[in-house]
Structure 1
Amino acid sequence: MIDVKELKIGNYVFPKNDSGKESVIGEIFAINDYLVSIKGNHNQYDYHLLEPIPLTEELLLKCGFTELYSDSKGYIYSVNNIEFIRSYFDTPSYFIKTNEENVLFEKPIIYLHQLQNIYFALIGKELEVNL
C-alpha cells in the first residue's frame, strides 16, 4: 500500500479492484478525500487499493535516464543533471545526487511515484514516463 501523503496528480500506480486483482498501470488524474481517479479507467479507487510500481533498471531507461558508469556504490544513471545511484547492497535501492549542488538524498527511493515526486521537486517539471 502507498502512503497517501506521497500521492500526487501525475503519479503512476497499480490500482486493484475490490477483490484485490491488479488492473492496468495507470496515471492519477484526480485525488479527493478518500478516492483516486486513474486515466483510462472509469473507476475510482480507495487509497488502500493502490500499489506502488517498483523501480527497475528497465523503468529508469524508459524514463529517459542513461547509464553513465558503475563505481563502489553502484550503477550511476543520469537525466537533466541528476545522478541516480542504484545501490549494490541488499535489496536494490536508489539514491539521487544533483550534479550542480552535489546533494545526496539518503532516503532510498524504491518506487516510481517517489522518483516522480523528487524529480519534480528538483527540476520543477514532471518526469516523462514511457511505460
Structure 2
Amino acid sequence: MEKKELRLGNLINLHENIVVEVSEIKDRSIITSHDLEISYEYLSSIPLTEEWLLKFGFDKITNEEGDFYQKGYVRVSIDEYEDGWFNFRKRVPSQLWKDNLVTQIKFVHELQSLYLLIEKEELNIR
C-alpha cells in the first residue's frame, strides 16, 4: 500500500486480517486510531464486499436492473464483466443512473474516499 492512496479515517488491513483506521499519515508509516505506528509494507487494501456496503448503511435493492446497493444518491453495483470491480454512480436529480458512472472501485478505502468527495460526509459503520 502507498501513502498517496490513503486519507485520514480510511479503514485498511494490517497483515491482511486486522482492520485498522488511519489517524495520521507519515512518510513511511501510518498511525492508527489506537496509536500504533505501522509501516506501509504491512498494510493492504480491504476488498469491497456486500458485507462492507451493508455495514456502511447502503441498502440492497433488487429490481429489473439487477442487484445494487444505494445510500442517498449514491449507487454501487457489481460489474459482471470485470471480476471484483464495483461501479460507483452518483445520481443527479432528474437524470438516469446509467448516465452518471463516476468510476470503478475495488476496495473499502476507495469507497470511503469517493463517498466523502461526492457527498461531503464520512461513511460510518453502523
TM-score higher than 0.5: yes
Q: Give the structure with the larger strand fraction.
A: 2
Q: Which amino acid is the alignment partner of residue 127 of structure 1?
A: L
Q: CA RMSD in A?
A: 2.0
Q: Could you report, residue by residue, the CA deviation over 1:75-131 in whole angstroms, capped at 9, with x for unpaired residues?
A: 21100211111122342210111111642024x21100000000001011111124x
The alignment of Structure 1 onto Structure 2 pairs a total of residues equal to 121
C-alpha deviation, 1:23, in angstroms: 5.9
Q: What's the % identity of the aligned pairs?
A: 26
C-alpha deviation, 1:24, in angstroms: 2.4
Tell me, which stretches of 5 or more residues in structure 1 are unaligned? 17-21
Report the counterpart of residue 91 of structure 1 in structure 2.
83
- Distance, in Å, in 2 between the alignment partners of 1:7 and 1:129 is 18
Tell me the TM-score normalised to structure 1 length: 0.81
Report the counterpart of residue 18 of structure 2 in structure 1.
24
Residue 129 (1) aligns with residue 121 (2): no
Contact 1:9–1:30 (8 Å) recurs in 2: yes
Tell me, which stretches of 5 or more residues in structure 2 are unaligned? none
- Distance, in Å, in 2 between the alignment partners of 1:5 and 1:93 is 21
Contact 1:34–1:46 (8 Å) recurs in 2: yes
Tell me the TM-score normalised to structure 2 length: 0.84
